[in-house]
Chain A
Amino acid sequence: MTARPSFRRRALGAALLLAIPALERASEPTEATLEAPAGPLDIQAEPPPFTEGIFPCSQCHDRAVDAKPKQLAFHDEIQASLHHGPPSRWCLDCHDNAKRDFLHLINGELVPFTASYRLCGQCHGDKYRDWRVGVHGKRVGMWNGAKTYFLCVNCHNPHSPRFKALKPLPPPIPPQDQGFAASAPASAPEPRKAP
Chain B
Amino acid sequence: MSASPRLPVIQDAPAEPGAPFSRRGFLKTAASGAALAALAACKPAAVVEELERRNFKELKKDELAAILVRLEKRYSEEYGKGVTVTATGPMAGVNFGYGLDLSRCIGCRRCVYACVKENNQSRKHPQIQWIRVLQMEKEHGVDLTHATPYYDPELVPEPGHFYMPVQCQQCRHPPCTKVCPVKATWKEPDGIVVIDYDWCIGCRCCTAACPYGARKFNWAEPELPAAEMNPVTHYLGNRPRPKGVVEKCTFCIQRSRVGRYPACVEICPVGARKFGNLLDPNSEIRQVMERKRVFVFKEELATEPQFYYFYAT
- A residues adjacent to B (C-beta < 8 A): 130, 133-145, 147, 150, 155, 163, 165-174, 178-180
Contact = CB atoms under 8 A, between A and B. Distances in A.
B95 interface: no
Most buried by B among A140, A168, A171, A173: A168
Given A135-B288, A178-B126, A169 B260 contact: no
Interface in B246-264: 256, 259-261
B126 A180 contact: yes
Contacts of B108: 166-169
B274 A172 contact: no
A133 B269 contact: no
Interface of B: 91, 94, 106-110, 112-113, 124-127, 129, 132, 149-157, 219-220, 256, 259-261, 265-266, 268-271, 274-277, 282-284, 287-288, 291-292, 312
A174 B132 CA distance: 12
Contact of A136 (B127, B276, B312): B312
Contact of B259 (A134, A145, A167, A171): A145
Contacts of A134: 274, 284, 287
A135 B287 contact: yes
Nearest to A136: B312
A178 to B, nearest CB: 5
A8 B127 CA distance: 63
Contacts of B126: 178, 180
Given A173-B124, A178-B126, A180-B219, A133 B259 contact: no
Contacts of B106: 163, 165-166
A155 B269 CA distance: 8
B19 to A, nearest CB: 52
Given A143-B283, A168-B151, 8 more contacts: A135-B287, A138-B268, A139-B284, A144-B94, A144-B259, A165-B157, A167-B154, A180-B219
Contact of A165 (B156, B282, B288): B156
A145 B282 CA distance: 12
B284 A167 contact: no
Given A169-B109, A178-B125, A180-B125, A143 B276 contact: yes
A145 B260 CA distance: 8
A137 B260 contact: no
B260 A141 contact: yes
Contacts of B109: 168-171
Contacts of A136: 271, 312
A133 B152 contact: no
Contacts of B152: 168, 170-171
A48 to B, nearest CB: 14
Contacts of A166: 106, 108, 155-156, 269
27 contacts: A134-B274, A134-B284, A135-B284, A135-B292, A136-B271, A137-B271, A142-B260, A142-B261, A143-B284, A144-B276, A150-B271, A155-B269, A165-B106, A165-B156, A166-B155, A166-B269, A168-B107, A168-B152, A168-B153, A169-B109, A169-B110, A171-B150, A172-B129, A172-B150, A173-B124, A178-B125, A178-B126
Contact of B312 (A135, A145, A147): A135
A114 to B, nearest CB: 20
